[in-house]
Amino acid sequence: MKSQGIGFGKAILFNEHFVVYGIPSIVSAIGKYTVAKIEPCDQPKLILEDNRDATPNYKEEKIDQQNDSINRILKKMGIDISKNGIKITLNGNLYVASGIGASAASCVAIGRALSNYYNLNLSDDEINDISYEGEKGYHGTPSGVDNTASTYGGLIWFQKGENNIIEKIPISNPIEIVIGNTGKVANTAAAVAGVRERKEKNPEKYKEIFDRTENIAYLAKRALREGDYKEVGKLMNENHKLLQQIEVSSRELDFLVNVAREHGALGSKLTGGGLGGNIIALTPGKELQEKVTNAIEKEGFQTIKTVIGASWGGIE
């Protein structure tokens, strides 16, 4: 008996970090995914085989967080492997790096695979809750935005609260983007803690920044619905500036953001926890996507060409 599950990578278009404080965020699943396969194991324990391609040292640095995450998922699902062990194998075409929802994709994939393996028939809403619990192993206090995109796919408006507000944003066609990888593994939990500390020290400065990010989210939602991608790009650029102001960007991220803009991207910003990881560039049309991809790769950095706004992450 063998079962598998799938979880999508993600790109945050607007308001990573700010989303933790109840500011709306816009996120999309991307067309890259992680697959988890589960099979019986003849020992009363869990064996994990992680075959995902990854940024050097990413998997090694995250191993303790990964183990914590899987234990949380098993506990949340009420699964006891002390008598009948299982083997989990991770594969898929999502290149594992900071900022593209790699941990959420694996949590969703594992949750779905366990649901299939044990015939639990869990709904997407239940998988999302389980994945959120798994994300705590990686992020301490996750916003919930990554696992939501990974579970449901598509382009999503997400606002954290007592009851999270989750809305699909309808767009006419998926939009091409480029993701550029700094090659630097980031510690999201440390980045989130740093923002909290600085916010407590400078409440007035941070209030001004947070108010503007909220405004940006509403303007961006309207621009996406109307297909005004130039406006979306401008707002992404402004969002990056605000992320710089709360000190979660880095020299490498700023460099890649500038390369993308100089080669025609309508907008570009860091995506995810920052302090390393990835940038996202808005490049509607295959031609522009190719041009920006080539420019980033010429500088010696890895890229992912994909789309946002496709239902179920637009499997390629």
Averaged pLDDT for residues 106-120: 97
- Among 140, 168, 196, the domain boundary falls at 168
Q: How far is CA 230 from CA 28, 233, 268, 284, 292, in A?
A: 18, 5, 12, 10, 16
Query: Last residue of a domain, which of 113, 144, 168?
Result: 168
125 within domain boundaries = yes
Domain count, the chain: 2
The residue with greater pLDDT, 154 or 297, is 297
Q: 130 lies in which domain range?
A: 3-168
pLDDT confidence tier of residue 314, bands split at 50, 70 and 90: very low
In terms of domains, do 179 and 146 share one? no
Same domain, 73 and 18: yes
Amino acid in position 170: P
Average pLDDT over residues 46-75: 94
Within-domain flag for 315: no
pLDDT of amino acid 312: 54
pLDDT at 216 over 70: yes
Residue 156 structure tokens: 């999503």
111 and 42 fall within a common domain: yes
- Mean predicted lDDT score pLDDT of the chain: 93
Q: What is the pLDDT of residue 31?
A: 85
- Pair (146, 274) in one structural domain: no
Looking at the fold, whether 148 and 190 belong to one and the same domain comes out as: no
Quote the CA–CA distance of 313 and 268 in Å, as a whole number: 20
CB atoms near residue 123 (< 10 Å):
9
Burial class of residue 173 in the structure, from the number of CB atoms within 10 Å of its CB (0-12 exposed, 13-18 middle, 19+ buried):
exposed
**Residue among 146, 211, 228, 254 flagged as catalytic:** 146
Q: Are 69 and 140 in contact (CB under 8 A)?
A: no
Q: Which pLDDT score is estimated for 311? A: 67
CATH number, position 54: 3.30.230.10
Q: Find where tokens 């790096």 sit.
A: 97
315 pLDDT exceeds 50?
A: no
- pLDDT band, residue 186 (cuts 50/70/90): confident
Q: Are residues 163 and 183 in the same domain?
A: no
133 shares its domain with 185: no
* Segment 263-283, tens digit of pLDDT: 999 999 999 889 999 999 999
Residues 199 and 63 both lie in one domain: no
Structural domain includes residue 67 = yes
Concerning whether 146 is annotated as a catalytic residue, the answer is yes
Mean pLDDT calculated for residue range 238-266? 98
Instruction: Report pTM.
Output: 0.87
Query: Do 192 and 154 belong together in one domain?
Result: no
Q: Is residue 314 part of a domain?
A: no
Q: What is the pLDDT of residue 1?
A: 52
* pLDDT beyond 50 at 12: yes
